[in-house]
């Protein structure tokens, strides 16, 4: 999906921080497994916040009658359409494109305005690889909107995040500092991390069901993997 540019970018980042590749692999596996748990062989809805060129919904089968909402900037959605044009899509669930600027618009409002959202179906809201790029105020505003989409008792929010020590430089791992410098050079600096993310979310009626460090998924002894986590939340 990302083509040659994506391959070059991945190689460049991995050369600086070799832990990135297994971290992304752990993220992919964790989220793939959750998709199946949420739908439980029933029609469901998956809302991809900042979908980019993600291809999960073409790999992980969803039951008949399911709907996918792809949210991103209009320019990114246009690029996504071009990339998807080369992929046969017969038999895939209904896909709804939702143009949005997360700095300006309300996630739930944009999804509901499409007229395709069904509050009686399980819904998985996925915010993958996004929390670290928004300041705390913007993060709070985004997550405050999401409970409106989690009305079914089996609905969940999934997001990944980094420990605050990654942001403030106190992790004690030189490889982390090198990675952060590389991201700044690429023009994509991480600006937000959390020590106790539950504190940031409880005010919005969200309850943590699972908070999993990537080290657990990888069954690794490398403590650097504890700095990147996957969080599953439900409406309280």
Residue 225 domain flag:
yes
Q: Which two tokens stand for residue 160?
A: 């990944």
Q: At residue 185, what are phi and psi to the nearest 5 degrees? A: -65, -30
C-alpha–C-alpha distance, residues 161 and 218, integer Å: 17
Q: Which two tokens stand for residue 162?
A: 């980094």
Cα–Cα distances (Å) from 132 to 119, 123, 161, 225, in that order, read 29, 23, 6, 16
Q: For residue 227, which of 13, 10, 9, 19 has the smallest C-alpha distance? A: 19
C-alpha–C-alpha distance, residues 80 and 197, integer Å: 31
Q: What is the pLDDT of residue 219?
A: 94
Residue 123 domain flag:
no
Pairing of strands 156-162, 206-213: unpaired
Q: What is the pLDDT of residue 3?
A: 75
Residue 170 domain flag:
yes
Q: What is the pLDDT of residue 14?
A: 74
Q: What is the pLDDT of residue 161?
A: 98
Look at the chain and report how many structural domains it folds into.
Answer: 1
Q: Which parts of the chain have pLDDT scores under 50? A: none
Q: What is the pLDDT of residue 90?
A: 67
pTM: 0.93
Cα–Cα–Cα angle for 170, 129, 197, nearest 5°?
55
Q: What is the pLDDT of residue 91?
A: 65
Handedness of CA 185, 187, 192, 195 (dihedral sign): negative
pLDDT tens readout for residues 52-97: 999 888 888 899 999 999 999 999 999 999 988 887 766 678 999 9
DSSP string, 64-120: TT-EEEEEE-HHHHHHHHHHHTTS--TTPPEEEEEE--TTTS-HHHHHHHTT---TT
Give residue 59's domain range.
3-118+129-235
Q: What is the pLDDT of residue 57?
A: 83
Longest dimension (CA), the chain: 49
C-alpha–C-alpha distance, residues 118 and 137, integer Å: 29
Q: At residue 101, what are phi and psi to the nearest 5 degrees? A: -110, 110
Residue 124 domain flag:
no
Question: CATH code at 147?
Answer: 3.40.50.150
Residue 66 domain flag:
yes
Residue 213 domain flag:
yes
CB 188 within 8 A of CB 133: yes
């Amino acid at each position: 999906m990302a083509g040659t540019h994506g391959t070059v970018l991945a190689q460049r980042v991995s050369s600086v921080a070799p832990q990135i590749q297994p971290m992304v692999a752990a993220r992919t596996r964790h989220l793939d497994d959750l998709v199946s748990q949420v739908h439980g062989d029933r029609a469901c809805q998956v809302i991809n916040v900042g979908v980019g060129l993600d291809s999960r919904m073409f790999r992980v089968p969803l039951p008949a009658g399911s709907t996918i909402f792809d949210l991103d900037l209009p320019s990114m959605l246009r690029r996504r359409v071009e990339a998807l044009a080369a992929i046969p899509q017969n038999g895939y669930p209904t896909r709804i494109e939702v143009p949005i600027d997360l700095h300006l618009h309300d996630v739930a409002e944009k999804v509901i305005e499409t007229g395709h959202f069904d509050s009686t179906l399980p819904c998985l809201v996925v915010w993958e690889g996004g929390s670290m790029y928004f300041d705390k105020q913007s993060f709070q505003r985004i997550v405050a909107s999401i409970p409106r989409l989690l009305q079914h008792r089996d609905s969940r929010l999934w997001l990944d995040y980094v420990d605050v020590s990654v942001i403030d430089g106190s992790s004690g791992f030189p490889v982390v500092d090198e990675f952060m410098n590389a991201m700044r050079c690429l023009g994509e600096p991480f600006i937000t991390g959390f020590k106790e993310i539950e504190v940031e979310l409880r005010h919005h009626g969200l309850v943590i069901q699972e908070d999993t460090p990537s080290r657990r998924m990888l069954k690794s002894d490398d403590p650097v993997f504890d700095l990147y986590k996957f969080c599953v939340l439900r409406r309280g």
